[in-house]
Amino acid sequence: MKKQLYLNFSYSKWIWLFGGVMIIVNLTLTAFQSADNIQPLIEIINILNIIALGYTMSSMQSIHARIRENDSHQFLYALPVRKSEILRADCIYHIIMLLLTVAVFSSYVTIGHKYHLYYGLLMLVGASLFMMSLYNIMFSQTWIQNVYIKTFIYFIPLGIIFMFHVMPLNNTFIYDLDLGAAWEFYLFRIPFIVLVAGALVYAVSYYFAKKKIIKSDII
């Protein structure tokens, strides 16, 4: 399994370097946020953070897309490692990259003390686990076939959550809105439910995919 993790990390070097750079940039900005003339920079930093989070959350898909693009799956998947270990390494790798996502996000929210956005992060991480479960099941049967379509499907709920949960959540705090119990439940309770459910589904899907992967053709 360590072998496959090594492959994943070497194939996604630039993503975790990008994530690391964003953490340093965010923390530097936090240290100097009281300085004048920082506001125009914040807009660029917001966009860069969104891009970094997008890449860290979909790093597994980036690796598979790169393997597909290089057409190197025959070679890489004929290296000496068991199929079930490939799956396990990919699952663990996604969790590690979600932790990196949390780290980048945590450094970002310190700029302007936007800690309320953590509810949005919980929702995004939960949805990512849900969608990654689906992705893993598909991967266990068809490996990297149609990887671009699978990546697009993975991003759909994340995009919806960003637009219809993270943005309203931010507005609620910026404008200090009291939207009632239903919105309270949606904005502040559902994220925990999604996260726990996502984690459970992710664990169950791993065992399901593990059974499937040993019976599937890689190419």
Partner 1 sequence: MNAIEINGLYKQNGPFKMEDLNLNISKGYITGLIGENGAGKSTLIYHMIGLMKADRGGIEILGSEDMEKDRSELLNRIGMVFAEDNFPKHMSPVGLEKLLSVYYDRWDSDIYHNYLERFKIHKNTKIRRLSTGEKVKLSLAVALSHHAELLILDEPTSSLDPTFRIEFLDVLQELMIDEEITILFSTHITSDLERIADYIVMIDDGEILFNMEKEALLDTYKKVKGPNDILDDEINELLMGRQTSSLGFEAMSNSPETLTELFGSKVIVEKLTVDEMMYFIKNNKRGV
* Smallest distance from partner 1 to CB 11, Å: 8
Q: Which is nearer to partner 1, 128 or 140 (CB)?
A: 140
Helices (H), the chain: 2-11, 13-31, 39-57, 59-70, 73-76, 83-109, 118-142, 147-161, 167-174, 181-184, 190-213
Q: Which is nearer to partner 1, 12 or 172 (CB)?
A: 12
* Smallest distance from partner 1 to CB 48, Å: 24
Number of Cβ within a 10 Å radius of residue 191: 23
> In this structure, what token pair is assigned to residue 100?
């990196």
* Angstrom distance (rounded) from CA 177 to CA 190: 18
Q: Which is nearer to partner 1, 193 or 214 (CB)?
A: 214
Residues that bind partner 1 (CB under 8 A): 2-3, 6-7, 10-11, 66-67, 70-85, 214-219
* Smallest distance from partner 1 to CB 61, Å: 17
* Smallest distance from partner 1 to CB 205, Å: 20
Q: Which is nearer to partner 1, 113 or 215 (CB)?
A: 215
- How wide is the angle at C-alpha 54 spanned by C-alphas 104 and 41, nearest 5°? 60
